[in-house]
Amino acid sequence: MVHHSSFVDEEGINKACGCPLYPLKSHGPAPDLDQDKTDIVDEAISFFRANVFFRNFDIKSPADKLLIYLTFHINVALKRLEGCRTLTVGSKAIINLGLENVPVPGEHGFPFPGLFPIPKSNGEAELFRDYLKEIREETSGRLLSVAYRANGTPNKWWLAFAKRKFMNIVTP
């Protein structure tokens, strides 16, 4: 059974492209969240190994759309880490992933056409792009701490999931 997001309360949460812009435990365009609380990134990482096996994902709330996007991003990041044998090399691969262009709905390269509505203005597109960039960077950084052990060696129980295709989407 698919794990759905627990972030269903959207009261007071801004949206862009039909996606809620939830607070994160980072400092960027997204609203800040206390470090001791769980955010959508924590949830995506904890649900990843269960959700990556599904070809279909029943969306119950707008937060599930973000969870789908993050699950796909984690899958891409793990594919980049797959050949990296040390934390240092893995960190460089993640930094390079963060430097890549972040497409928004309606642009070439966006992995889920139709899942998110096309932005109504350039301002909304840039707000969503900035949010996706921040959430991708935050997710990638936290992923390093589970994909590698404290001694810097790869955690095979995480990197083995790089071979999975989430929702039958081929990752770059």
What backbone phi and psi angles, to 5 degrees, belong to 20?
A: -70, 140
- 104 pLDDT more than 90: yes
pLDDT in tens, 26-55: 767 677 777 778 888 999 999 888 888 777
Residue 155 placed within a domain: yes
Q: Is residue 3 part of a domain?
A: no
Structure tokens at 95: 């930094």
Tally of structural domains, the chain: 1
Residue 63, domain extent? 15-168
Judge whether 2 lies within some domain: no
Q: Tell me the whole-structure pTM to 2 decimals.
A: 0.89
Q: Is residue 26 part of a domain?
A: yes
- Decide if 6 is inside a domain: no
Percent of the chain as helix, strand, coil, to the nearest 5: 45, 5, 45
Rounded to whole angstroms, the Cα distance separating 24 from 34 reads 8
Residues with Cβ within 8 Å of 131's Cβ and at least 6 positions away in sequence, in order, are 16, 19, 21, 29, 30
Sign of CA dihedral 8, 54, 157, 88: negative
Could you tell me if residue 7 is inside a domain? no
Of the candidates 16, 64, 61, 18, the residue with the CA atom closest to the CA atom of residue 40:
64
CATH at 66: 1.10.1760.10
pLDDT at 127: 94
